[in-house]
A and B are shown apart, each in its own frame.
Chain A
């Protein structure tokens, strides 16, 4: 089994996520792209856990999941509050702060 395929897949997913953050205009979709990036990191960690022969990577993936869950709680609360006051979750509409 060749582990580098998994690493390439993870790098591809990370890139798709990063592009999603930069190109998507809806805050929810931007946020989902960030989650995709975090999950690609999980895949990388588990793959490296196998290549290096240590269990740390798998344990780290659990930490990442917990932190990602906490981030969802905070992020959705913030996005919900701005959606309720503007009826829009577009990051382009949020433009009161410009110099």
Chain B
């Protein structure tokens, strides 16, 4: 018979960042239920921003902490706090984008009532409504809380729960677009079915690793790989299944099929949040699984990850060239970036870890701000995302086109932008880790991606604008602030990267 059940030691302080976000999410649910409709939106924005701001302050105060809490299920260490701080800032930017109302004639990018049938009389009447439901705020907060928990999980079961907590609200948010609602609903169904499929694989991997190690703590998995010669099939099939779930979330080939559809169909502020934050959280979790749980079996999983990284860079770069929609192009570019980040992950060294962390920081801000620019270019039917409509934008609005061109340069990795330093950091780690061939593929893929970014820049500045082209909406301080933040971070990380590289370097130590 098993012994008596001991109550675990709980120390809440090191887990404060995510607890604060979850607390804000719960308050946000209560506001949705009880606050008067007219005041709901203001309260929701205030609670969301306060929750995320306090989480950011908590991560800063916790800096330097290295301990395992909640019966070793949560690891609070450098990578955790670095990514949580990044996610808190990006989450605030995402909340600001979701709150933008001055771009659309009525009320922002989110549907007034998601239950109204698209095209029905109710839906048409609500299309111009300014009173809208605000359930997107609690959903975003729960999702962000899950994202902050995801890279901190030292326990694979908790990692699965965090995966679902971050994913389930995102599936719903993908379907909340105010315009083009059928596309949005379709994106939600695709994202949900494929996401549930991938998380089932993740879970089966967890079960097999439990059978292998007798525990789902990553530290126990590591010691089991070091000591026993027991069933290696369980170990490797388990790791492969686990990797399917994680690679799906980061959008690596061959699990990238959902990326363009979901990025295009979701409301653009949600796409921005999802593109930046999900990737950061999922890479954080992947780093912890591979560096902690499978740090001693690197020789066995690296060939597989090599193949996936090469495929991801190649497919992402080549398919991005063929796109005619801005959001789909950015989606395929995010696939290519997944491949670049994988180069840093595969290095399996402290340098690879700090390079990957720096890349995620740089990539997150550039991505969220470039999607914010996409929300500005509009015609009568909403956002004008077809590339042909962007022709000559530089003549109509040099400021917006110039900002977008800068973000594309940062994504391409032009020197003096954050993208250059980020790529340099992961590729240098790759070369030092002996993956020179992989880095060569990465550089070639970077050149291909630079080609299609340059194509968009040429389109914007050297083509005649079409006569019935879109207009550039004047954003309120919400979107303008997000774009400004992205711009500032992209410039600072490109020109003065050293403090941030040092920070990432100091943060690159896992506890287990």
Contacts and interface: CB of A to CB of B under 8 A. Distances in A.
Interface of A: 7, 14, 17-18, 21, 27, 30-31, 34, 37-38, 40-41, 44-45, 47-48, 51-57, 60, 63-64, 67, 70-71, 74-75, 77-79, 81-82, 84-86, 91, 94, 96-97, 99
Given A48-B210, A94-B186, A99-B323, A78 B196 contact: no
A84 B117 contact: yes
A89 B260 CA distance: 21
B114 interface: yes
Contacts, number: 128
Interface string B239-278: 0000000000000000000001100110000000000000
Contacts of A85: 117-119, 181-182, 185
Is the contact region of chain A dominated by helix, strand, or loop, or is it mixed? helix
Given A44-B204, A52-B211, A78-B188, 9 more contacts: A37-B200, A37-B201, A41-B200, A41-B207, A70-B164, A75-B192, A78-B192, A82-B186, A86-B182
A9 to B, nearest CB: 13
A57 B161 CA distance: 15
A62 to B, nearest CB: 10
B220 to A, nearest CB: 10
B200 A38 contact: yes
B160 A67 contact: yes
Given A41-B203, A45-B210, A21 B193 contact: yes
B414 interface: no
Interface stretch (B168-176, B358-366, B456-464): B168-176
- A-B pairs, 9 with minimum CB distance: A48-B211, A37-B200, A52-B214, A97-B261, A44-B207, A94-B186, A34-B196, A82-B185, A85-B118
Given A84-B117, A85-B118, A97-B261, A17 B200 contact: yes
Nearest to B168: A74
A97 B204 CA distance: 30
Contact of A57 (B160, B210, B264): B210
B216 A67 contact: no
8 contacts: A34-B197, A38-B200, A63-B160, A78-B188, A85-B181, A91-B193, A97-B190, A97-B265
Contacts of B208: 44
A10 B120 CA distance: 46
Interface string B186-225: 1111101100110011011011101100111000000000
Contact of B183 (A44, A45, A54, A96): A96
Contact of A81 (B114, B197, B210, B214): B114
Contacts of B192: 74-75, 78-79
B328 interface: yes
A94 B261 CA distance: 11
Contact of B2 (A27, A51, A55, A60): A55
Contacts of B187: 97
A94 B258 CA distance: 13
B105 interface: no
Contact of B214 (A31, A54, A71): A54
B322 interface: yes
B380 interface: no
B115 interface: yes
B157 interface: yes
A64 B487 CA distance: 42
A21 B218 CA distance: 30
Contacts of B2: 55
